[in-house]
Amino acid sequence: MRKSLQVGRHPVFSAPSTRPASYALYHAARAHRSLVLGNLFIAMIRAAGAIVRRAYAGYQQRRKARAVYDALRHLDDRMLRDLGFDRSEMSSVAAEATGAAARERVRVLLLSSSSP
C-alpha cells in the first residue's frame, strides 16, 4: 500500500507511481494561480469602475457649476448685488452652490438648504 499526501484535490504519492508528485503539485499551483488571477482581475474591474464613477460625478458637478455660472452671467450687476455678490464672484458662487468648493457665503448656505 502506498502512502499518500493530499494537496488540494490531487493526491501526492510518496511511493513510485505513474505520475510523479510534481504533477499534482503543478495542478494545485495552477488552480491556486487561477484563483489569485481571478481575484486580481475582479479587483481591477472594480477599481476601474470606481474611477469611472468618480470621473462621471466630477463631470456632472462641473456641468451644474457651469449652468449656475451661465445663469448668473445673464443677470445684470444690480441683480447680482441684490443677491449679495459681485460679478467677479460668480465662478466661486457657482462652485459653492454645486459643492465643488467649501461653502463660505451665508447666501449660498441659505439657498442650498431650501433646494431639494
What are the pLDDT digits (tens) for 86-116?
A: 888 888 888 888 887 777 766 555 555 555 5
Cell numbers for 2: 502506498
The boundaries of the domain holding residue 52 are: 4-114
At residue 86, the 3 state secondary structure works out as coil
Which helix H or strand E contains 94, and what residues bound it?
helix 90-98
Angle between helices 90-98 and 106-114 (to 10 degrees): 40
pLDDT in tens, 55-78: 999 999 999 999 999 999 999 989
pTM of the model: 0.57
How many domains are there within the chain?
Answer: 1
Cell numbers for 107: 447666501
Residue 79 has pLDDT above 50, yes or no: yes
